Amino acid sequence: MSSLHQWSANDDLAIAHARALAMDAVQKVGNGHPGTAMSLAPVAYNLFQRHLVHDPSDPQWLARDRFVLSCGHSSLTLYIQLFFSGYGVEIEDLKSFRTWNSLTPGHPEWGHTAGVEMTTGPLGQGVATAVGMAMAARYEKGLLDPDSAKSIFDHTIWVICSDGDLQEGVSAEASSLAGTQALGNLVLIYDDNRISIEGDTHVAFTEDVSARYRAYGWHVINVAAQGDGNVDLPALDKAMTAAKAHTSAPSLIRMHSVIAWPAPKAQGTAKSHGSALGDGEIAETKKLLGLNPDENFAMPAALLDHVRQVKNRGAAIRSDWDTQFASWSTKNPDKAQLLSRLRSRKLPDGWEKAIPTFEAGKEIATRKASGDVIQGIASVLPEFWGGSADLAESNNTTIEGSSSFLPATSAMKNTSPYGRVIHFGIREHAMASILNGISLHGLTRTFGGTFAVFSDYMRAAVRLASLMGVPSIFVWTHDSIGLGEDGPTHQPVEHFAALRAIPGLAVIRPADANEVAQAWKSILKRDKPAGILLSRQNLPVVDRTTHGDAANVDKGAYILKDSKNPVAIIIATGSEVSIALEAQKVLAEKTISVRVVSAPCIEWFNEQSRTYRDEVLPPSITNRVSVEAGIAQGWRELIGDEGTAISLDHYGASASASVLFKEFGFTPEAIVDAVISGTK
C-alpha cells in the first residue's frame, strides 16, 4: 500500500459515509447522479488520501497533482472528497447540492469551487483536456528545470472517466495523441460499470477498450471488481502505484465496478445513474453499510477529524517541497525570475517591440502576417508555444527554428520533449480541448490553428474555454469564400455568427497585416479566450498615415477612413474592408460623403463606453451598410432597421476568389448601390 497513509477501520467507515452522503444529497434536491458517486467513493477517497499530491490549504499550489473528474455528472464524487480534505466545502454545501449559488453545482465548475481543476460535464472533455495538462507539465519542466531527471516540477495528472467519456470521439483523438507523446505523467482511471442512461452500454459499446488503449501506446492495467461487486481497493491501490511509477507512457487503469453498489435494488441499474434512489432504498443501503438509516448527512466529528488529517500530510509534503524550491531558486536565479513572471501572468517589459510593423502599399494575406507576428512573439515569450491540426503550412502557425514537441523516444527529426511546435494531427476537437488543458495548467500561452470552417469540429471545447474564461487562442485561417477553388465545403458562411454567439469569446477578423499585429497584442494582454479569423488571399496593407491607427483594433471597431460630414457609414470586417475603402472613393467622386469603419471584433467594441460607440457610429446616421462575407445574422444590431447588410446567406462555390467576390456581390459597386439606395 502507499506510504502516504496507512489504512484503518476509519477509512472504511469514511467510504461508507461518502456513499451515504451521495445518496442523501441527491435525495434532498430530488435530482442528480447518485449511482456513480456511490461506486466511485472508494476510488476517489483512496486517490485523495493516499496518492494525490496536494495541499488543501493552497488549491493553486504550483507543484500539486491535478485531478480531473471527466464524468462531471458524478460531481458528488469530487465534492465529497473536497469536503473530506478541507477545501472549503462543508456539509451545508452538500445539502445545497445543485441549488442556486451553492458551491456544489450539478457539474463541477472551474473558478467556482476551490479544488476543481476544470469545468466538466460534456463527456470526453475531461480526458482530452487532461492530455493538455500533461503536455503543459512537460513543457513547463523544459522551461524551468530541463536537465533534471527527477524534478521538483514533476507531477501527475489523474483522471477518473466513465464509459460515456470513452465513447466520445474527442477522448479517442486526445488519447491517440497522448500515446504518441508518451505522456508518462498521465493516469486515467476508467470506471467500467457498463451502465449509461439507456442501460447496458453493450447496446452500443462492445469494443475491447484495453486493447484499443494498448494500440494507442498506453500502459494498461485491468482491475476486476470483487465477487460482491465492490471495487477491489487493494488491487486498485496497487495499480495506481504502478501507474504513477510507469513514466514512459500514459497509463489506463480499467477498473470494473457496479454502479450504486451496495444498494440492494438499485445497484447495476440504469435508473441509479441519474435518479434519486428513494428513502426506502437509501435506508436499506445504509443498513448494509453499517450506518444508521435514520440519519441523513451524517459525518461524526471524530471521523471528519480523521479524514482531514490529509491536510497535515499535504502540509508536510508542501514543506519539504518548499525547501527544495528555495534551493532550486538559489541555483537558478534566471529561471526563478522567469517563473515569478509566469505565475503573475505578466508579459516582459518591451515585448511589443518584437511585433512587426507592415509596410503600407504591399499586399499580404492576414494568415501570413499572423505567422510573422507569431515569430516575433515567440522571440520574446519563451512560454509561447502551439501548432495546428496538420495545417501548419496553410495556417502559418509554425514557430520557425524551434523543434517539435515530441518525446525523447521519437524517431522523428528535429524533436525535443520540450519543443515549441505542437503537431496535433487531424484532430481539431482534441486540439481545442488540449489548448484548454495547457491554459488551465497555468504558466504558458498557447495557440492552435485550422481552417475556419473546421471550427465546427472544435465548438464544444471552444465553448468550454469561454465558459471557464481560460485564455486559449484559436487561429482560424481561410476565413471566407476568398479561399477560392476548394469550394463550399471549405468556405465558412455561418461560422462568424456562430462563433460570435459564444458568450465570452472574442472573435477577431482583422482587415490587414497591421490589424493582425494589434489583434495579437490585444489577445495576449487581455488573457482571455479568443479566436482570430485570417484570410488565405492577399489583402492590401492600409496606409496608416492617412487612415485610422491600427492600435484602435483594441477597441473592437474604429473609424478607419472618415469624410467630411458623412451621410452614411460602411462597416466591414476582414477582407471586405479593402472593398469598402474602394467604394468610399467611388462615392466621393459622386460627392457622397461616407465613413468607413473597420470592425474586427464586435465583442471588444461592445465593451467600450456608449460615448465611444456613438462617436464611431453616430445615432444620427441611420444609413449604414455592413459588408461581411458571411450570413447577415448579428449585423442588424449595428446597422439598425434602416441599414443594409451585404452578406452571404447561402453556400459558396468552387472558383477563384476574385470571381466569387464578384459573383456574390462583394464589390465596390454593390456597396455604392446600397449606400445610394439608403440615401433616398
User: Where does 411-526 have alpha helices with state H?
Assistant: 428-441, 455-468, 495-500, 513-526
- 434519486: which residue's cell? 276
Q: Same domain, yes or no, for 310 and 250?
A: yes
Give the three-state DSSP class for 623: coil
Segment 253-270, tens digit of pLDDT = 999 999 999 999 999 999
Picking from 649, 628, 633, the residue whose alpha carbon sits closest to that of residue 480 is 628
Q: Which residues contact 430 (CB under 8 A, 6 or more apart)?
A: 128, 131, 170, 173, 174, 177, 424
Last residue of a domain, one of 254, 289, 315: 315
Q: Same domain, yes or no, for 93 and 163?
A: yes
Segment 143-164, tens digit of pLDDT = 999 999 999 999 999 999 999 9
Letter for the amino acid at 187? Answer: V
Q: Same domain, yes or no, for 387 and 265?
A: no
Residue 61 in domain: yes
pLDDT attached to residue 151: 97
pLDDT band at 126 (very low <50, low <70, confident <90, very high): very high
Q: Same domain, yes or no, for 63 and 199?
A: yes
CB contact at 8 A, 520 and 384: no
Taking CA atoms, 246 is separated from 49, 126, 127, 136, 633, in Å, by 21, 22, 19, 19, 52
Residue 343 in domain: no
Residue 4 in domain: no
CATH of the domain at 626: 3.40.50.920
Q: Residue 2 pLDDT more than 70?
A: no
Residue 410 in domain: yes
CATH of the domain at 476: 3.40.50.970
The residues that bridge with 220 in the sheet, in sequence order, are 252
Q: Same domain, yes or no, for 367 and 452?
A: yes
Q: Residue 374 pLDDT more than 60?
A: yes
pTM for this entry: 0.98
Q: In what order do the strands lie in the sheet with 530-533?
A: 415-416, 404-405, 421-423, 384-388, 445-451, 473-477, 530-533, 506-508
Residue 320 in domain: no
Instruction: Look up residue 417 and give its three cell numbers.
Output: 520533449
Q: Same domain, yes or no, for 564 and 674?
A: yes
Q: Same domain, yes or no, for 418 and 477?
A: yes
pLDDT band at 399 (very low <50, low <70, confident <90, very high): very high
Neighbour tally for 235: CB within 10 Å: 17
Segment 465-499, tens digit of pLDDT = 999 999 999 999 999 999 999 999 999 999 999 99
Picking from 272, 306, 270, 201, the residue whose alpha carbon sits closest to that of residue 38 is 272
Mean of pLDDT values over 325-333: 98
The helix (run of H) or strand (run of E) holding residue 304 is helix 301-307
CB contact at 8 A, 631 and 497: yes
Tally of residues, the chain: 680
Q: Report whether the peptide linkage leading into residue 619 is cis, meaning its omega lies within 30 degrees of zero.
A: no
Q: Same domain, yes or no, for 366 and 466?
A: yes
CB contact at 8 A, 400 and 414: no
**92 is an active site residue:** no
The helix (run of H) or strand (run of E) holding residue 334 is helix 333-344
pLDDT attached to residue 413: 96
The count of structural domains within the chain is: 3
Residue 326 in domain: no
Last residue of a domain, one of 315, 330, 360: 315
Q: Same domain, yes or no, for 143 and 213?
A: yes
Q: Same domain, yes or no, for 427 and 388?
A: yes
Picking from 347, 677, 382, 366, the residue whose alpha carbon sits closest to that of residue 524 is 347
Q: Same domain, yes or no, for 535 and 614?
A: no
Last residue of a domain, one of 490, 505, 540: 540
Residue 336 in domain: no
Rounded-to-integer distance, Cα 511 and Cα 599, Å: 9
pLDDT attached to residue 424: 98
Rg for the chain, CA atoms, rounded: 28
Segment 8-43, tens digit of pLDDT = 999 999 999 999 999 999 999 999 999 999 999 999
Taking CA atoms, 601 is separated from 370, 516, 541, 608, 667, in Å, by 16, 12, 19, 11, 22
Give the three-state DSSP class for 627: strand
| Owning domain of residue 627 | 552-679
Q: Residue 456 pLDDT more than 80?
A: yes
Catalytic one of 428, 515, 576, 628: 428
Q: Same domain, yes or no, for 604 and 502?
A: no
Taking CA atoms, 663 is separated from 570, 645, 653, in Å, by 20, 17, 10
Residue 587 in domain: yes
The helix (run of H) or strand (run of E) holding residue 417 is none
pLDDT attached to residue 6: 86
